[in-house]
Amino acid sequence: MKVLVVENLTYYYPGSTKPALKNVSLEIEKGDFVIITGPSGSGKSTLIRTFNGLIPHFYKGRFEGRVLVFGVDTRKASVAELSKKVGMVFQDPENQILTLSVEREIAFGLENLGVDPREIRLRVNESLRSLRIEHLRYRVPFELSIGEQQKVIVASILAMKPEILVFDEPTAHMDPFSALMFIQILNELNKQGYTIIVVEHRLDFLVKYANKIVVLRDGKIVKIGDPLKVLAEEDVEHIGINVPKYITLFKKLSSYVSITSIPKSSDEASKILKEIVYGNRDRG
């Protein structure tokens, strides 16, 4: 089932003569785990802001083509309606936190929607459990680490029961370990049935879990497809994206040694290399 369809989208911010997105077409299926990447200024954040109607409803500007969320044209639905389907998590958790307890933070959006208090309690519990942060329930969000804060934000979005979760560079400020933990949570949510869309520069931990990558440059989609296949293509580094080292290593190695597959993690890379180095394997 297609949950999100972008058709021939061209978009200009108000007063701009250069389009931020040019002829973008994209289909996302239920259960997809999609990476959106590309150099700075390539249109990544602009693109995801069309998914819940922030563009064109808030940003205005010139909008051609259409975006369909579960078949509904985003121009014909409000951001509030779309947000029930598409949950957005931005880069800086600090800027998104509003309350003084984790529990209140998660309940906040539901209270605003007038959800029944008993239902709110249920959903808060469920969200806390999904992210395994029950122990943070009574903590003050501002005092948490950035990784924990980001989980609280995700929990507050989950409580709204969206079907698509969109993340704008969620791990940008996280150290590698926190980032890895966070990406594993995204994977778990994906397994629970959520469609996941992540804008990221840092790809090394994500490649393993995603089934699709979209590479943008100058507002256009220049590559789209299976992450490993796309990242293994020759010209992809020139676009300015951070191709994981375990992939660049194998791309270079493949000019000298026959390689049957490109690894999707450092771990897998070391296993294949071990076989190559210790010669337990034909070397073309």
Which positions touch other proteins (CB under 8 A)? 38-41, 91, 145-147, 169, 172-178, 180, 201, 204, 237, 240-246, 248-249, 252-253, 256-257, 266-267, 269-271, 273-274, 276-278, 283
State the nearest-atom distance from the C-beta of 138 to other proteins, in Å. 18
The distance of closest approach from Cβ of residue 20 to other proteins in the complex, given in angstroms and rounded to an integer, is: 12
**What is the per-residue burial (b if ≥16 Cβ within 10 Å, else e) of 38-75?**
bbeebbbbbbbbbbbbbbbbebeeebeeebbbbeeebe
CB of 178 to other proteins, least distance (A): 6
Q: What's the min distance (Å) between Cβ of 200 and other proteins?
A: 10
The two tokens of residue 107 are: 């309940």
Distance of CA 16 to the CA centre of its chain: 27
Between residues 38 and 109, which has the closer beta carbon with respect to other proteins? 38
- How far apart (Å, rounded) are the C-alpha atoms in residues 202 and 170? 10
Q: Are strands 33-37 and 212-217 parallel, antiparallel or unpaired?
A: parallel
| Shortest CB 68 distance to other proteins, Å | 30
Strand partners, 12: 62
Q: Which is nearer to other proteins, 135 or 271 (CB)?
A: 271
Structure tokens at 102: 């984790």
Cα–Cα distance measured from residue 46 to residue 78, given in angstroms and rounded to the nearest whole number:
18
As measured in angstroms, the least distance from the Cβ of 208 to other proteins is: 13
Helix, strand, or coil (residue 147): helix
Looking at the Cβ atoms of 91 and 125, the one nearer to other proteins is 91
Maximum pairwise Cα distance, the chain: 66
From the list 166, 235, 247, the residue with the least C-alpha distance to 207 is: 247
**Nearer residue to other proteins within complex by CB, 167 or 246:** 246
- Residue closer to other proteins by CB (options 105, 200) is 200
Residue closer to other proteins (CB basis): 20 or 160: 20
Shortest CB 219 distance to other proteins, Å:
13
Of 82 and 230, the one with the shorter C-beta distance to other proteins is: 230
Q: Answer whether the bond into residue 56 is a cis peptide, omega within 30°.
A: yes
Query: Which pair of tokens denotes residue 250?
Result: 């194998």
